[in-house]
Amino acid sequence: MISSGSLPRVLHGSEGRPLSLAQHEEVFIAGTPFNVMHELEHSGLTGRGGAAFPTFRKVDLLRLQRGHNKSVVVNVMEGEPAAHKEFALAGANPHLILEGAQVLAGLIGAKRILVCVARDNPTVVNHLSRAIHELERRSLRGAKIELHTPPWRYVAGEESALVHWLNDNESLPQYRPERPSILRVGHSPVLVDNAETCANVALIARFGAEWFRKLGTEKSPGSTLVSLTGAVERSTVLEVSLGTPIRDILAAGHADMAPQALLLGGFGGTWLHGQHIDTPYANEHLGAHGANVGAGVMAVLPREACGVYETLRIVRWMANESARQCGPCAFGLPALAEDLTSITHSSKDPKAAYERLQSRCDSIEGRGACRHPDGVIQLVRSALIVFADDIAQHIVGRPCTGTQRPKHTITIPSLEHEDELIWE
């Protein structure tokens, strides 16, 4: 680092031979008071798309990749039907997403930013296309921004499916045996980040890591968006500091304060028993109850609902949303839904179905190309633990009023016939 009061300044380091790029970075960038890469590392930002992978490590991996035409993919697909966070984010400030993407593009040296919004979500498409037009009218620096509108499917938001679609193929998840794998559009590596992550990157680049860490816990700093649905006055998206007790989030969203259970993370997430609502909303605390923040969905299940039946409805829909590429997912998920149906119907030998369900969960786990079946199994397993009493009652054959309710708690899109699913 150059000290402020001494010369040379401009001629620093030019003795003998010119500095290499690595030396230049060491002298002029690593020592500077505000270095975005450094701030990103110290902010401890994790991906907000569900996997909670440290963003810095991902950016660092992509930064070291070769490529003349690298790109940043902003994932605004909103795959979870229960989530509305990207809708809220794009409705509030689409420029924050784009600015974060530009920062990331600068960090990895990307030439293009590909903003992917599901075409079934026209409001978000409008917000983002307007924002991109505004940016283009101001002589745009850096990476070129493109808007892409893939079809909306649950698995189409998965990063390999998205990149596969950008490569002019169907939006189907791909098999990636080596981890960490680098996705490519054409031959050039791409960085795929969730819209919320991009927005957080923009904030970190503006205000720094210390500012970012003022909210949240030590291990999961910052704030996150929570899509609150189910037994609430009105479905809302709340921005909460990570580590806020779940009770406070429910109170802020005018939800049922004595819920039977909470669905956390999304349709491939977990159930959390209603007695744990004082747990702080952060991965390290939720982990003790087998749950995680996931994609930020929080669906409140009231006491009068039947958790097993709601799980069945979710699993049935998730089975239909499978891309039907891998046998264990294409055949296994409908089988899980069938077992859950047998558990809720006393005429179909629920005890055998319960045992079959557990063995099927063990045999399917980890055998798909993507994490879609694993997510469903995570949901089923947590349901078996959280609703253990309900299941015992179902197996005995007691009538369940929860299955007969005219309106169910968790809103699930209608099932489409296999032939009607659009993949490209």
Mask: binding to other proteins, 335-364, rule CB under 8 A, as x and -? x------------------------x--xx
Question: What's the min distance (Å) between Cβ of 420 and other proteins?
Answer: 22
Cα torsion through 361, 366, 367, 369, rounded to 10: 130
Cα separation of 272 and 293, whole Å?
A: 11
Q: CA geometry: angle at 254 spanning 248 and 256, to 5°?
A: 85
Query: Residue 174 interacts with other proteins (CB under 8 A)?
Result: yes
Residue from 142, 327, 397, 413 that binds other proteins (CB under 8 A)? Answer: 327
| Residue carrying the six token digits 């909460």 | 240
DSSP 100-160: HHHHHHHHHT-SEEEEEE-TT-HHHHHHHHHHHHHHHHS---SSEEEEE-PPP-TGGGSHH
| Contact pick of 222, 274, 368, 402 for other proteins (by CB under 8 A) | 368
Q: Which of 332, 350, 375, 402 binds other proteins (CB under 8 A)?
A: 332
The C-alpha atoms of residue 264 and residue 164 are separated, in whole angstroms, by 28
Site for other proteins (CB under 8 A): which residue of 5, 16, 33, 177?
Answer: 177
Pick 289 or 360: Cβ nearer other proteins? 360
Per CB under 8 A, the segment of 53-61, 66-74, 150-158, 331-339 that binds other proteins is 331-339
Residue 325 interacts with other proteins (CB under 8 A): yes or no: yes
Binding of residue 87 to other proteins (CB under 8 A)? no
Token pair recorded at residue 16? 């003998």
Beta strand spans in 339-420 (E):
none
Stretch that binds other proteins, among 24-32, 212-220, 328-336, 382-390 (CB under 8 A): 328-336
Of these, 189, 230, 328, 402, which contacts other proteins (CB under 8 A)?
A: 328
Decide whether 127 or 360 has the Cβ nearer to other proteins.
Answer: 360
Size of the site for other proteins (CB under 8 A): 18
When binding is defined by CB under 8 A, the residue of 93, 331, 341, 395 that contacts other proteins is 331
Residue 326 near other proteins by CB under 8 A:
yes
- Tell me whether residue 80 or residue 339 sits nearer to other proteins (CB atom): 339
**Residue 238, beta-bridge partner list:** 226
| CB within 8 Å of 419: residues ≥ 6 apart | none
Tell me the HSE value of 148 on the side-chain side, using a 13 A CA sphere: 27
Kindly report the number of other CB atoms within 10 A of residue 362's CB atom. Answer: 10
Write down the least CB distance from residue 227 to other proteins, Å. Answer: 31
228 forms part of the interface with other proteins (CB under 8 A): no
What is the DSSP track for 253-287? TTB-SS-SEEEESSTTSEEEEGGGTTSBSSHHHHG
In a 3-state reduction of DSSP, which class is residue 228? Answer: strand
Window 7-26: contact mask with other proteins (x via CB under 8 A): --------------------
C-beta of 67 vs 268, nearer to other proteins = 268
168: left (phi over 0), alpha (psi -120 to 50) or beta: left
In angstroms, what is the minimal distance from the CB of 334 to other proteins?
10
Three-state DSSP class for residue 76: strand
Candidates 369, 379, 384, 410: give the one binding other proteins (CB under 8 A).
369
**Quick one: 350 or 368, whose CB is closer to other proteins?**
368
- Which CB sits closer to other proteins, 84 or 164? 164
**CB 166 → other proteins: shortest distance, Å?**
18
> Which two three-digit tokens encode residue 34?
């505000």
x-marked contacts with other proteins along 270-309 as a string, rule CB under 8 A: ----------------------------------------
Q: Is 181 in the site for other proteins (CB under 8 A)?
A: no
Structural contact between residues 61 and 182, judged by C-beta atoms closer than 8 angstroms: yes
In Å, what is the CA distance from 7 to each residue of 4, 178, 327, 390?
8, 50, 68, 77
Site residues (vs other proteins, CB under 8 A): 174-175, 177, 325-329, 331-332, 335, 360, 363-364, 366-369
